[in-house]
Amino acid sequence: MGKLKSNKRNSAAAGSSPYSKAQTTTNNVFKFNTNVGQHILKNPGVAEAIVAKANLKPSDVVLEVGPGTGNLTVRILEKAKRVIAVELDPRMAAEVTKRVQGRPEQKKLEVLLGDVIKTELPHFDVCISNTPYQISSPLVFKLLALPNPPRTSILMFQREFALRLTARPGDALYCRLSVNAQFWAKITHIMKVGKNNFRPPPQVESSVVRIEPKLGNERPGVSWDEWDGMLRICFVRKNKTLRASWLGTKEVLSMVERNYRVWCAMNNVAVDDTVVGEEEDMEVDESPGFQEDDEWGGIMDVDEEVDELPSFFKEEAERITKVNGNKTKSKKKKTRVAELIREKIRKVLEDDTELADQRAAKCDENDFLRLLSAFNGEGIHFA
């Protein structure tokens, strides 16, 4: 029988995983849990096409996420050296194991029982997945963050998520997810898959994308935390100008000043706290959370593309509200370091990059790289 391994690290945490709530759909064998993305691909033609798009070699080790009943698995086993299938549901793990029982392929299949996001993965060359939609973004970035990422990943996603991954500057669905994913990989949309190709059918259409990580000299030489921290601010309101995003929000200015003070302390740079007056009136945004202008309109809450207010904004908003007795407006003493921060941001946006009047929705990877380099040059960091 194919190997079936329980991931001990994940067993205790299964109840708190992204798949915790159960909503089942009746099947003639057992009930599918649609809340964990159990929509089984039933069309053999689509399964064949997905495996063909991976261009597998006989020497390849393939990671399959969520094998279900094994419709993709058996086709991968025909072409690859070995398949490592990660499955959360013990019933499905048993089903895919049974599928190859007594066949030569059973020696090529290893089933890991657990949550793929929390699992320490062995080396593999290619990833193929009918991805549970709730873990779409975590899976993409887990694969890209691996020390030796797979040569290629062929992943099925909810259609709108796939279109966000591949969106270009100016597209309606272009967002922080688009920039981050394309910064680390080449991503192409390769086929559409209608919902009637699944059992039970999901409420939305699907798409398959190919993800090929950038390697060697192509791989970005910047800190992920720095890069993502800056993008979070740029995409707070992606259709506002960068000047408004950076200079028009009290929480942003407060966060940048705090980070600058840390940088100064680490580099033995004196900070001038001389009081020069009171700050101008500025609205404190007390809404539950800033979100990108194009809110997620899909069936499922697909993580990163709808961003709530970043944690450092929440902390600053709570602090400002508490200090000022829940007033909408607040004033505090303006110091020379606060003036310096505003001037540094103005200089980066207007003089160094000339991006002040651009909108994040229209900026490309090179624009954001110039912006990060200019901010770092002024001692402004985001990690």
Sign of CA dihedral 13, 17, 21, 23: negative
DSSP 3-state percent helix, strand, coil across the chain (nearest 5): 40, 20, 40
Contact at 8 Å (CB) between 46 and 197? Answer: yes
Three-class DSSP category at 276: strand
What amino acid occupies position 222? V
Domain 221-275+312-321+333-382: give its CATH code.
1.10.8.480
Q: How far apart are CA 319 and CA 281, in angstroms?
A: 17
Annotated binding-site residue? 66: yes
**Given CA atoms 85, 139, 314, 293 in this order, what sign does their dihedral have?**
negative
* pLDDT tens sequence for the chain (383 residues): 455 565 544 444 444 343 333 333 434 455 655 554 568 899 999 999 999 999 999 999 999 999 999 999 999 999 999 999 999 999 999 999 999 999 999 999 999 999 999 999 999 999 999 998 889 999 999 999 998 999 999 999 999 999 999 999 999 999 999 999 999 999 999 999 999 999 888 889 999 999 999 988 887 889 889 999 999 999 988 899 999 999 998 889 999 999 999 999 999 988 888 877 666 655 444 333 344 444 333 334 333 444 434 454 455 445 545 545 544 455 567 788 999 999 999 999 999 999 999 999 999 999 999 999 999 999 999 98
123 labelled ligand-binding? no
Binding site annotation covers 352? no
| Domain assignments of the chain as residue spans, ordered by start | 34-218, 221-275+312-321+333-382
Which of helix, strand or coil describes residue 68?
coil
- Residue 364 counted as an annotated binding residue: no
The pTM assigned to this predicted structure is 0.78
Q: What is the torsion angle, in degrees rounded to the nearest 10, for the CA atoms of residue 97, residue 85, residue 163 and residue 160?
A: 50
Q: Is 281 annotated as a binding residue?
A: no
Count CB-CB contacts under 10 A for residue 135: 24
Superfamily of domain 34-218: Vaccinia Virus protein VP39 (3.40.50.150)
Q: Is 251 annotated to bind ligand?
A: no
CA dihedral over 284, 318, 301, 159, signed as positive or negative: positive
DSSP letters for 140-188: HHHHHHSSS--SEEEEEEEHHHHHHHH--TTSTT--HHHHHHHHHEEEE
Q: Which residues have CB under 8 Å from 8's CB, separation 6+? A: none
**pLDDT (0 to 100) of residue 4:** 59
Task: Give the tokens for residue 176.
Answer: 């922080």
Largest CA-CA distance found in the chain, in angstroms, rounded: 81
CA contacts within 13 A on the Cβ side of 87: 25
The structure tokens 């080790």 sit at 61
Q: Which amino acid is at 19?
A: Y
Choose among 42, 43, 22: nearest CA to 34.
Answer: 22
- CA–CA separation, 98 and 78 (whole Å): 16
Using DSSP's 3-state secondary structure scheme, residue 111 falls into: strand
CA nearest to 141, candidates 305, 320, 338: 305
Angle, in degrees to the nearest 10, between helices 136-145 and 159-166: 40
